Structure 1
């Protein structure tokens, strides 16, 4: 199992809420709501039209549309990933499903973290991004009475810089 890598120095564990506004820099998403789920091992991103294709070089790639037309941040972009795994992942209903897993970056508290995300149709779920234990471990402590702690931290940091 690969360890999630911080791309920026990691401070001590931070308190995170039950929901957070996160950025996915590699996927051109600056702000999207994520559910923090300590019951899930792997993090997940909502995608539609998930399928494998063979590119011009004869190599398999995974093609997806990030989010779906009903989501406000849907941008009609089709993404292709040449580096991916196909894994058995247990759904929230306890069913084992084969899902594609990619590595990408997520930004929280000004920290950019490279992490694994399964690609799945989360259209029936309230939140398009789910943050699981693998990403949380060693970095965050979840306070279920709070939400958007990272966003509040970001605003506070921006105010500090404005007042200098």
Structure 2
């Protein structure tokens, strides 16, 4: 029996995504095949334990470029911890939580970590763990999930 390949959707180097479980919409996300983990901009965070479970409290502003927007507080159970090396070779612990992301009017599970991305051009990064087995990347395009290029 010959298996037919699963049709993969094509995304561009930059996509606008929604995180509906967080009430966050129209977030610009840079697609980065060099990054393993997806990350969302976070003003600040703290890790705490309650009743034997570990949580992360985050202060997220998905649109820091818009004047007058404020960070909102979110609490997530920690799914996993990872040591991640930045492109500068600096290691840091990242706390990963699970949520949903919407692209092409479809919902997907995503594992996200948080960090301060205020010095970066985009508040979110989509890494290989999310992209692989679902999408192909055309770096000459952008906003394909919203029907634009």
Q: TM-score normalized by structure 2?
A: 0.85
Distance 1:71 1:119 in 2: 17
Q: Considering only aligned residues, what root-mean-square deviation do their CA atoms show, in Å?
A: 2.1
Give the strand-richer structure, 1 or 2: 2
Structure 2 unaligned blocks of 5 or more: 1-5
Asked if the contact 2:85–2:92 (Cα under 8 Å) also holds between the matched residues in 1, the reply is: yes
1:24-103 paired onto structure 2 within 5 Å = 24-55=19-50, 57=51, 59-67=53-61, 70-72=64-66, 74-103=69-98
- Quote the residue 1:161 is aligned against: none
Q: TM-score normalized by structure 1?
A: 0.78
Distance 2:9 2:20 in 1: 21
Asked if the contact 1:42–1:118 (Cα under 8 Å) also holds between the matched residues in 2, the reply is: yes
Give the helix-richer structure, 1 or 2: 1
Structure 1 unaligned blocks of 5 or more: 1-10, 154-164
1:82-161 paired onto structure 2 within 5 Å = 82-152=77-147
Distance 2:28 2:69 in 1: 13
